[in-house]
Amino acid sequence: MEEEFHDIETKIDKFLKQFNISKYLVHEALYYFEEDDIEELTSMLHRCKLPKKYFSYKDVLSEKFFKKMGLKENDLFLFADGRVYGKLFFQIETAPTNAENRRACGLSPEILEEYKKRFFPNNLHKEKILALLPYVIEDILSFKKINPMEFKKIFIPTFVNMVEIVVIGYTELEELQSIRGMSFYLLREMFDELMLFVAEDILFHFSNQDKKAIEFLSCFSVHESIDAKGMRYKPKPILDESNHAWNMTTIRSTMLQHKRAKQAVYDKKNSLIMIKQKLEAYKINQKELGKQILAEQITLQEIEAKINHIHKTIDRLQNTESAEVMFTENGEEKIFQRKVLIGKMFKKEDELLSLRNKIQKLLKEVELVISNKQKEVYVWEKKYAEGKEIIANIEAIGHPMDKQYERIQRALAKTLATR
């Protein structure tokens, strides 16, 4: 039964008063617990209709925990794959002599590189950071929740918090200065990749006619624009490396063409899968027919052996003058009239000859089927090889629209990162 939100909110507030958040402090700048620890809250929120200002139950809980934990503007509260992080953004007071030292919080590049090799072998940091990124985009940096101005204000502290979650969780570093220096070092290395991921997410939804994505991108224009909240934006075009400005029309046109090109490749790959399945079915069928031929040939050999045995028996009976003869039938010795037995042998021979002819005819038919099937296999193998080569060439050199899409993606990532 659905409950009213204000009733649920009262229960949540009561739960949080008794919730000892301090026991989940794993570092002076990080809280961590499992979503199961607050399953009672998520269950309650799933039983009611949320007010429009909330996109999901996570937004409600984030708001409540921000208040409970006394989190500030640059702090982070994040749900990620069943885990919940409360990350405190801290300030580092250093007085380094140059900008390079300032970016590394006074740690030398040699020390930072040694930390990276020790704590993150095989680029483990990339795997861990990229695993958190989709959740950060969905809950914190989503174009559905914030406008470009808000994005520019929060994306750097958000990225710093995200990387510091990984550094605190996967290194032995304890001092805030070392954690911040290491986080800056990793963030600089991955910054472009993170921004491209954000741009890709926006462009993907834009190409699928998401109204919020369209509204977000419409803020970037060569003309002054006004968003749904009445906020005015100065001209801020999306400029690529050639200083070419991309507007909504040119982005939409390029994305449409890129989507069609991707769909064409997708269709080709699907066709290849179907051809491969057809080939595998043909080959299985060929094997079954081959087994059938082998079985029929063995039967044919057995029939030939029986016919030869009958011929020898008839020859002996015809060369014998006795009116009665001893003959083993079905494992039992019996006395037969010689002429009667000869008649039985000729009848048995006729039956075996008829069966032999039937099997020989069947063998020819099966061999013809195999031959025809093999011709089809050759045709489909050629089609498969040609299709595979076409896709390999496309993936090797890329479709022309891929390069256009990448230009837009880089341009949007660069524009978003410009503060």
Tens digit of pLDDT for each residue in 122-160? 999 999 999 999 999 999 999 999 999 899 999 999 999
Which pair of tokens denotes residue 73? 């503007």
Are 254 and 404 within 8 A, CB to CB? yes
Determine the pLDDT at residue 100: 58
Confidence check: pLDDT of 96 > 60: no
Question: Are residues 169 and 282 located together in one domain of the fold?
Answer: no
Going along 183-321, which residue ranges are E strands?
Answer: 225-226, 232-233, 238-239, 245-246
Rounded CA gap, 88 and 76, in Å?
7
Out of 174, 204, 234, a domain closes at 204
Helices (H) and strands (E) in the chain, counts: 12, 10
Most confident range, picked from 183-197, 307-321, 357-371, 397-411: 183-197
Chain mean position to CA 187: 25
Task: Tell me which H or E stretch contains 169.
Answer: helix 148-170
Are 413 and 405 within 8 A, CB to CB? no
Confidence check: pLDDT of 73 > 80: yes
Decide if 240 is inside a domain: no
SS3 76: strand
- Residue of 27 and 393 predicted with greater confidence: 27
**What's the mean per-residue pLDDT of the chain?**
89
SS3 208: coil
Question: Are residues 31 and 155 located together in one domain of the fold?
Answer: yes
Question: Are residues 130 and 196 located together in one domain of the fold?
Answer: yes
Which pair of tokens denotes residue 22? 């301090």
**Which residue segment(s) compose the domain that 263 sits in?**
253-408
Query: Taking the alpha carbons of 61, 65, 68, 74 in that order, is the dihedral positive or negative?
Result: negative
Decide if 140 is inside a domain: yes
Question: Are residues 174 and 305 located together in one domain of the fold?
Answer: no
pLDDT tens profile 205-257: 999 999 999 999 988 876 776 666 777 766 688 999 999 999 888 999 999 99
In the Cβ-directed half-sphere of 3, how many Cα atoms lie within 13 Å?
12
pLDDT tens profile 166-214: 999 999 999 999 999 999 999 999 999 999 999 999 999 999 999 999 9
Decide if 216 is inside a domain: no
Determine the pLDDT at residue 338: 77
Determine the pLDDT at residue 102: 61
Question: Are residues 180 and 279 located together in one domain of the fold?
Answer: no
Decide if 215 is inside a domain: no
Confidence check: pLDDT of 117 > 90: yes
The pLDDT-based confidence of 99 (bands split at 50, 70, 90) is low
Out of 147, 174, 204, a domain closes at 204
Confidence check: pLDDT of 313 > 80: no
Question: Are residues 38 and 176 located together in one domain of the fold?
Answer: yes
The arithmetic mean of pLDDT across residues 346-365, rounded, is 88
Question: Are residues 15 and 160 located together in one domain of the fold?
Answer: yes
Confidence check: pLDDT of 95 > 60: no
